[in-house]
Amino acid sequence: MSASATRDADKVAAALARIEELRQQLGASAHPMLRHYLERRSYQKALEFLNSGRSETETPKCGDT
């Protein structure tokens, strides 16, 4: 692995560790769908959920885009 690829891999690993740390801090207070996405490492879906403006009580339907 090149030095550049190693640095990139280190950055990705650090970002994933930070996401996991934040997921643990959220605990049971987070919206169930957000917890679901984060626990399954569906980070794109988690980001879309956070940016969607959905209310706290609205549950997204699987398969919707």
Kindly state whether residue 26 falls inside one of the protein's structural domains.
yes
The answer to whether 37 touches 49, Cβ cutoff 8 Å, is yes
Mean of pLDDT values over 25-37: 91
pLDDT at residue 58, rounded to an integer: 58
Kindly state whether residue 65 falls inside one of the protein's structural domains.
no
Mean of pLDDT values over 58-63: 58
Q: Give the residue numbers spanning the domain of 14.
A: 3-51
pLDDT at residue 65, rounded to an integer: 44
**Considering only 21-25, 28-32, 39-43, 55-59, which range has the smallest mean pLDDT?**
55-59
Kindly state whether residue 64 falls inside one of the protein's structural domains.
no
Domain count, the chain: 1
pLDDT at residue 29, rounded to an integer: 87
CA angle 9, 47, 29 (to 5 degrees): 110
| Buried b or exposed e, range 27-56, using 16+ CB within 10 angstroms | eeeebebebbbbeeeeeebbeebeeeeeee
